[in-house]
Amino acid sequence: MSDATNGASERFAIGISFGNTSSSIARINPEGKAEVIANEEGDRQIPSVLSYIDGEEYHGTQAKAQLIRNSKNTVAYFRDYLGKNFKSIDPTPCHNSAHPVQSDSTVAFSICDSTSETPNTVTVSEVATRHLRRLKDSASDYLGKQVNAAVITVPSDFNDAQREALTAAAEAAGLEVLQLIHEPVAAALAYDARPEATVADKLTVVADLGGTRSDAAVIACRGGMYTVLATAHDYELGGATLDKIIMDHFAKEFIKKHKTDPRENARGLAKLKQEGEGARKTLSLGTNASLSIESLADGIDFGSTVNRTRFELLSNKVFAQFTGLIEQVVQKAGLDVLDIDEVIFSGGASHTPKIAQLASNIFPETTKVLAPSTFVGAINPAELASRGAAIQASLIQEFDKEDIEQSIHPMVTATPHLQKAIGVEFASGGSVEFKPLLNADTALPARRLAQYSVPKDGGDVIIRVCEGARDIKVTKPEPKAKEEKPKTDEDDSDFDSDEDEEEETREIVWKTEKPIAELAVKGTKAGSKVELMVHVNADLGMQITAREVGGQSAVRGAVQSP
Amino acid sequence: MASVPVVNVSLPSLSAGWSADNNFKPVGTLSAATQRNLEPVGPHFLAHARRMRHARTFSEDERIQAQHNVKKTEDEENDEISEPEDSMMLAREAKDWKSQDHYAVLGLTKYRWRATPEQIKRAHRKKVLRHHPDKKAALGDRDENDSFFKCIQKATEVLSDPVRRRQFDSVDEAAEVEPPTKKEATGSKFFKLWRPVFVAEGRFSKTQPVPELGDDKSTLEEVETFYNFWYNIDSWRSFEYLDEDVPDDGESRDQKRHVEKKNANARRKRKTEDTARLFKMVDDCAAGDERIKKFRKAARADKDKKRLDREAEARRLVEEKEKARLEEEQRKKDAEEAAKADREKNKKAKEAAKNATKKNKRVLKGSVKDVSYFADGEPSAAQVDGVLTDVDLVISKIDAEELASLAERLSAAGKDGAAVKNVYSEEVKRLVGAGKLKEGEAKNF
């Protein structure tokens, strides 16, 4: 009797965001909301760091603290080494922790992880397994139930070898990997799964600003389905870059006073890094951050403060790099900033208020910038990926393994997408207007419904279904039309950076490209509406139906596939 | 699908002269599609995947999903189709509640001890809806008898209290499964017949899950775990339910105590009996269990093999020793025999030599006699004596071979006295030369 139910409930899945710098775990609580789980130390952002002292394993924040005293036996920033060979990795982030070494075809770390003095060679897969096992145990402890499956997020540039290595590492940790999903999509899903969110067609930019790297992606969200249009990566840009600015700032101050550079000895550097990171995070919330380090260099204690304005001034260049990355990805997708409906900031560095503010200046007013500093209802950017993973985990945890595999097979995921938008043309008087119904890059097959008003006094109406294209219309403003200018000007006036040359206004204009079909709905009543349904098959054949709302008869027709 | 978006732009009026079949005129086709990868994430993608994999259209999929959802809720309501009610049971008096089958009253006979509290609650509600006295009255039933309703209440009262439910379950005879007899449970039927017995018995175990009987492919370890479990079972079965009613009228405390004591004794006795019964049952099962025999046989075969090996080795050693001993004996015997034959041969040779010596002595003595003791004519007694003494002297001084050659020479000399004397003289001379005789000792030669 209970066999069937047991089989299903045996699987208990969570969402894991396994980052290079920090990881987080989330689950769907009984109320159906995503909830990020804190580990034993109460951290929701668990540093992806493992440290060993006398054979004892430390994890998370405790391990991160060991970077100062026990850096040789502390492994950090290892996620990106998974499934790669030694030649192709960038060991820079590990400069202050255990250094990666070559081991056969993979990367390994030489650490003393047992009580013996001689260091063992631990492969990066093994390190990842240990890390994931700790995450799993933390989740199991928190939930009181053995967690045995997970959806894990990966960057969009993870190749097959890396995916395989991560899956193997997770299986070794006792986690069945239900699915690996892309971080930007997970972030988009986390926002779209909020109860107040509606399913709408939109173009979203996800800016994932991590600790050591930053990624950006343009996602077309069409009827709740996501298609990545373009991605851009910067492997050197991240929270660490900002930390470096703070560190340099304080180091200079220290040199001025004491004539020694604390960055020259490893321990001083580690201390400065740890405290600098803390200060940077504090500046995301407050306007002032203080820093105090005991025995920074030559036994001299150091204490100082920095305010946000100073930090922002120092970091201007780096901020420009962040926004540059976002602009770059939009360009790569062949789009204009005006096309973007939503910008989601994800990753720890997104807390920095100035980045989101600068980004919102790039985009038009209508674009929503979802970051803590610009949007009140924003979800903690560091938790987005794990929340998205948890949502996906809850959706598929009841499925059979085979079912999941079939569903994510390229047979299903590789689909034709509309090249151009399909909409209705309104020719009233001299002007021709076009209202898109199905946007470009909609996955096929697709179906859309919309209602259109009829002329005031009813009568016969015609619906012209066309393909359309959007154009960016640039109008040079007349000198006196100052007040007409969009409000962005006022916002921007605080920053006198790039205001001078942008004198023109830009707007989206739709143009009819190619008529597809015409439908006539006869004898509509005054004040009623006409409902139009367009169904596009995977082979580009169309069925179009139009009817007066509440009316009996409908006009139907099919358009052959080309 | 959420609400339909409304576009607040009025559609253009139909221009005069426009006409088409069914008011529809296809004018063009769509531009070629671009192939892209969908991200396999989110509920809408799953719907898309479902449509793709089952080749459904939008409306089909919506309909099937809707049906699916409807079915689920219906299932929940129909999961306990009530069992037919026995008229005998309906006529029961609530005061005999101790003897009633509470599960049957609630229509849960197919679940019994497996019924969840949730099921009991639902079953109770269902029964109450059917048998509520007010309902009966409303239906025009003048019968004021609500005894079955009371039975239902009593059954729920017992079954919804975990402690009392266990007490009832302990003595729920309908849930017992009779162990099969030795004859029945043979061969393939063994597992089929014993399994339900242990499942039923396993409900009393405090440790769950109870190890399963398994089948003929179970390993030694599994079988051992199974029997060890049953011989060490920690059972919650108790027999309070069969207690005699304790009078609580308060007037005879002694009576009350007496009954209580009796009950406690009865419980203890029943528990002991039950434990004994269980152990006997497990014994029976173990006795008929082919697997144990199989394992024992395997173990014995193993041991036997070792023993046989050892014995063979010992035997071989003994045999070797025996053989060595026999060989030694044979060798000794052979040696002895050879020695004996040698001795015999020696004896014969000696005897022959003796005889020859005797003969030669006779020849010697005869030779002197033949030549009448070197005397011319009849020899005097002294002469004879002297010659014979000398001959004896010679004989005593020479060995067998010399004697033989001497005898030969004497025979050659024959009856010639001078020749004989010559021979003797030569012999004496040789003996004197050899130092065996002194000059002049043999006077006559």
pLDDT in tens, B172-187: 877 788 888 877 777 7
Q: What is the mean pLDDT of residues B24-44?
A: 84
R_g of chain B, CA atoms, integer Å: 65
The residue with greater pLDDT, A182 or B172, is: A182
Cα–Cα dist A388/A27, whole Å: 10
- Cβ of residue B9 closer than 8 Å to a chain A Cβ: yes
At A444 the pLDDT is 85
If pLDDT is split at 50, 70 and 90, which confidence band does B436 have? confident
Which chain B residue has its CA at the smallest distance from A456's CA? B10
Give the integer Cα–Cα distance in Å for A344 and A185: 10
Which of A96-105, A150-159, A518-527, B86-95 shows the highest mean pLDDT?
A150-159
Closest residue to A417, CB basis, from B28, B34, B51 = B34
Strands (DSSP E) found in A112-250: 120-123, 149-154, 176-182, 202-209, 214-222, 225-234
Residue A516 to residue B30, Cβ atoms within 8 A: yes
List of chain A residues whose C-beta atoms are within 8 Å of the C-beta of residue B114: 1
Task: Please answer whether residues B363 and B407 qualify as being in contact, where contact means their C-beta atoms are separated by less than 8 angstroms.
Answer: yes
SS3 of residue B179 by DSSP: coil
The rounded distance, in Å, linking the Cα atoms of A77 and A107 is: 12
pLDDT tens by residue, A360-410: 999 988 889 999 888 888 899 999 999 999 999 998 988 888 888 888 888
C-beta atoms of A420 and B39 within 8 A: no
Cβ distance of A182 and B36 shorter than 8 Å:
no
- CA distances A178 to A91, A378, A392, Å, are 30, 28, 9
Half-sphere exposure of B332 (CA within 13 A, CB side): 6
Q: Does B250 touch chain A (CB under 8 A)?
A: no
Yes or no: say if B147 and B94 are a contact pair by the CB < 8 Å rule.
yes
pLDDT of B145-165, one tens digit each?
Answer: 778 888 888 888 888 888 888
**What domains can be seen in chain A, in order of their start residue?**
3-182+387-411 (3.30.420.40), 198-237+319-380 (3.30.420.40), 239-314 (3.90.640.10), 421-559 (2.60.34.10)
Q: Using the predicted structure, report yes or no on whether residue A200 has a pLDDT greater than 50.
A: yes
The arithmetic mean of pLDDT across residues B264-290, rounded, is: 88
CB distance from B16 to chain A under 8 Å?
no
For residue B71, what pLDDT band results from cuts at 50, 70 and 90? low
Tell me which amino acid residue B119 is.
Answer: Q
B233-274 per-position pLDDT tens digit:
888 888 888 887 777 766 778 888 888 888 899 999 999 998
pLDDT tens for residues A48-104? 999 999 889 999 999 999 988 888 899 999 998 998 888 888 888 888 888 888 888
Mutate which of B14, B19, B37, B38 to disrupt the A interface (most A C-beta within 10 Å)?
A: B38
Contact B288, B190 (CB under 8 A): yes
**Average pLDDT in chain A:** 86
pLDDT averaged over chain B? 82
CA A368 – CA A23 distance, rounded (Å): 27
Over residues A204-231, the pLDDT tens digits come to: 999 999 888 999 999 999 888 999 999 9
Q: How far apart are CA A434 and CA A174, in angstroms?
A: 55
Q: Which helix (H) or strand (E) holds A491?
A: helix A488-492
Residues of B in contact with A515 (CB under 8 A): 27-28
pLDDT in tens, B90-103: 777 777 788 888 88
B28: contact with A, CB 8 A cutoff: yes
Residue B1 pLDDT > 70, yes or no? Answer: no
Quote the crossing angle between the two packed helices B290-370 and B417-434, to the nearest 10°.
Answer: 120
- Sketch the domain layout of chain B as residue ranges: 87-172, 176-288, 312-445
B-proximal residues of A, 498-527, CB under 8 Å: 514-522
Alpha-carbon distance of A372 to A351, in angstroms, equals 6
Confidence of residue B310 (pLDDT cuts 50, 70, 90): very high
Provide the 10 A C-beta neighbour count for residue A292: 11
Per residue in A257-313, pLDDT tens? Answer: 998 888 888 888 999 999 999 999 999 989 999 989 998 888 889 999 999 999 999
C-alpha to C-alpha distance for A389 and A189, rounded to whole angstroms: 8
Q: Which of A384, A389, A532, A525 is nearest to A458 (CA)?
A: A525
Do A422 and A516 contact (CB within 8 A), yes or no?
Answer: yes
- Interface contact flag, A447 B31, Cβ < 8 Å: no
Q: Which chain A residue lies closest to B6 (C-alpha atoms)?
A: A451
Using a pLDDT cut of 70, give the percent of chain B over it: 93
The whole-number pLDDT of residue B442 equals: 67
Tokens of A515: 């008529």
B242-259 as b/e, with b when 16 or more CB fall inside 10 Å? ebeeeeeeeeeeeeeeeb
Q: How confident is the model at residue A331 (pLDDT cuts 50, 70, 90)?
A: very high
- Does residue B323 register a pLDDT over 70? yes
Question: Largest Cα–Cα distance in chain B?
Answer: 208
Over pLDDT 90: what percentage of chain B? Answer: 12
Cα-Cα-Cα-Cα torsion B405, B411, B413, B419, nearest 10 degrees, comes to: 70
Q: Is A490's pLDDT higher than 80?
A: no
Residue A548 forms beta bridges with which residues?
A530
Rounded distance between C-alpha atoms, residue B65 and residue B92, angstroms: 47
Query: What is the bridge-based pairing of β-strands A106-111 and A176-182?
Result: unpaired
Q: Are B417 and B371 in contact (CB under 8 A)?
A: yes
Round to whole Å and give the CA distance between A154 and A180.
6
Q: Please give the residue that has the higher pLDDT: either B5 or B1.
A: B5
Going along A504-553, which residue ranges are E strands? 505-524, 529-536, 542-548
- What's the average model confidence in pLDDT over B282-301? 85
Beta strands in A429-491 (DSSP E): 431-438, 446-453, 459-475
Residue of B nearest to A434 (CA): B9
Average the pLDDT over B372-384 and give the result: 74
DSSP assignment of B83-135 equals PPPPHHHHT--GGGGGGS-HHHHHT-TTTGGG--HHHHHHHHHHHHHHH-HHH
Is A15 in a helix, a strand, or coil?
A: strand
Classified by CATH at the fold level, domain B87-172 comes out as Helix Hairpins (1.10.287)
Question: What was the pLDDT predicted at A496?
Answer: 44
Supply the CATH classification number for the domain B312-445.
1.10.8.840
Residues contacting residue A334 through CB under 8 Å, at least 6 positions apart: A229, A230
Confidence tier at A481 by pLDDT (50, 70, 90): very low
pLDDT band with cut points at 50, 70 and 90 for residue A137 = very high
Q: In b/e form, how buried is each residue of A226-260, taking b as 16+ CB within 10 angstroms?
A: bbbbbbbbbeebbbbbbbbbbbebbbeebeeeeeb
Dihedral of the alpha carbons of B198, B203, B204, B208, in degrees to the nearest 10? 100
Structure-model confidence comparison of residues B134 and B317, the more confident one: B317
Chain A contact for B41, CB < 8 A? yes
For A17, which DSSP code? E
CB-based contact, B1 to chain A, within 8 Å:
yes
Nearest to A205 by CA among A182, A225, A228: A228
Q: Which of A243-247, A423-427, A524-528 is the most confident on average?
A: A243-247
Higher per-residue confidence, A153 vs B36: A153
Instruction: Record the tokens describing residue B327, joined without a space.
Output: 């060989």
Taking 80 as the threshold, does the pLDDT of residue B89 lie above it?
Answer: no
Total-model pTM: 0.64
Cβ within 8 Å of A, B 334-353: none
Q: Which of B169, B204, B183, B168 is nearest to B277 (CA)?
A: B204
Chain B: closest CA distance from residue A521 (Å) = 7
Residue B416 three-state SS = coil
Residues of A in contact with B1 (CB under 8 A): 449
Lowest mean pLDDT among A48-52, A339-343, B426-430: B426-430
pLDDT computed for residue A187 by the predictor: 94
Tell whether A419 lies on the interface with B, counting CB pairs under 8 A.
yes
pLDDT band at A485 (very low <50, low <70, confident <90, very high): very low
- Residue range A516-521: mean pLDDT, rounded: 86
Comparing CB atoms, the residue among A228, A519, A520 nearest residue B39 is A228
Residue B82 scores a pLDDT above 70: no
Predicted confidence band at A2 (pLDDT cuts at 50, 70, 90)?
A: very low
Residue A220's nearest CA partner among A211, A228, A208, A230 is A228
Burial A183-222 (b: 16+ CB within 10 A, else e): bbbbbbbbbbbeeeeebebbbbbbbbbbbbbbbbbbbbbb
**Which pLDDT band, with edges at 50, 70 and 90, does A499 fall under?**
very low
